[in-house]
Amino acid sequence: MEYLNPDEIKNNKNRLFELQQRASWDIRSGRILNLTKEFISNKSSVIVDAASADGSLLAQLSEAGYKNLTGADIDDYRHEAAQKFPFKKIDFCFDKFPWADNSVDAVISSQTIEHLENPFHFGREASRILKPGGIFIISTPNPFHILNRLLFLRHGDIYHFLEGDNHITFFTRSIFKKTFLKYFRLLAVRYGKSELKHWLFNWLQPLKHILPSNQWFGRYIYYVLQKPQ
């Protein structure tokens, strides 16, 4: 869909509610759930799902045994089964998050930072509310994909950040390092869902199922960060 600023998002709840009822691939595939299990072993951890959309991740985490879960988003798009979870309405670009300093064990945010006008505020607030040693898991379209490198050389654009979509922010390694990694320690970088959806790679389509999910072919990148002790 097209880009909407925060006020336009708030004024289009009915339209966006329908779009939010299909969880991202990160969640449907279990990728975020598996990362959570790997890096957040304590099932009593206080976890915030930042940009919880329809609440599918909250439901997955609850089924996996996590007990202290809260959703947060710019508006409430939760389906009926997710209404049982606590929820906070937050504009992640500008609002102070409604949690005290050093009060949360983990913040998880799937496919969010690419939509934000001020992702740096989002990162700082996540750092503020996390306890020392707290975990911050984020995913976003992979800017290092081979298709993005070739398209930028030819057109000055990259896939998933084109004029007709609603992604407005991507991070080079240096920008990510001097912003998010100013407040966090990098624990892991992972990639997911190998993809080559472009006519340039039609000749490779028979091999798409064996392509590695790495920086060259993975559609998504996952960062697991930790607030310093």
8 A C-beta contact, residue 188 and residue 224: yes
User: Residue 203: its pLDDT value, please?
Assistant: 62
Residue 193 lies in a domain: yes
In a domain, 209, yes or no: yes
pTM, rounded to two decimals:
0.93
Q: What is the DSSP letter of 49?
A: E
The answer for 111, left when phi > 0, alpha when psi is -120 to 50, beta otherwise, is left
Instruction: Please give the residue range of the domain that contains residue 159.
Output: 6-226
Does residue 86 lie in a domain region?
Answer: yes
Tokens of 30: 């279990």
Q: Answer yes or no: is 42 within a domain.
A: yes
Cα torsion at 105, 214, 110, 229 (round to 10°)? 20
Alpha-carbon distance of 42 to 39, in angstroms, equals 9
Q: With contact defined as beta carbons under 8 Å apart, do 185 and 126 qualify?
A: no
Residue 175 lies in a domain: yes
pLDDT tens for the chain, residues 1 to 229: 888 988 898 888 888 887 787 788 999 999 999 999 999 999 999 999 999 999 999 999 999 999 999 999 999 999 998 999 999 999 999 999 999 999 999 999 999 999 999 999 999 999 999 999 999 999 999 999 988 998 899 899 988 898 999 999 999 999 999 999 999 999 999 999 888 776 666 666 666 677 888 999 999 999 999 999 9
Tokens describing residue 208 = 């798409």
Smallest CA-to-CA distance from 225 within 198, 185, 180 is with: 185
Taking Cα atoms as reference points, which of 64, 53, 67 lies closest to residue 23? 53
In a domain, 1, yes or no: no
Q: How many domains does the chain have?
A: 1
In this structure, the strands spanning 185-194 and 218-226 are: antiparallel
pLDDT score at 205 = 65
% of the chain beyond a pLDDT of 70: 95
Cα–Cα distances (Å) from 37 to 29, 61, 74, 136, 223, in that order, read: 14, 9, 26, 13, 15
Amino acid at 168: I
**Would you state the pLDDT for residue 175?**
96
Query: Could you tell me the CATH number of the domain that includes residue 216?
Result: 3.40.50.150
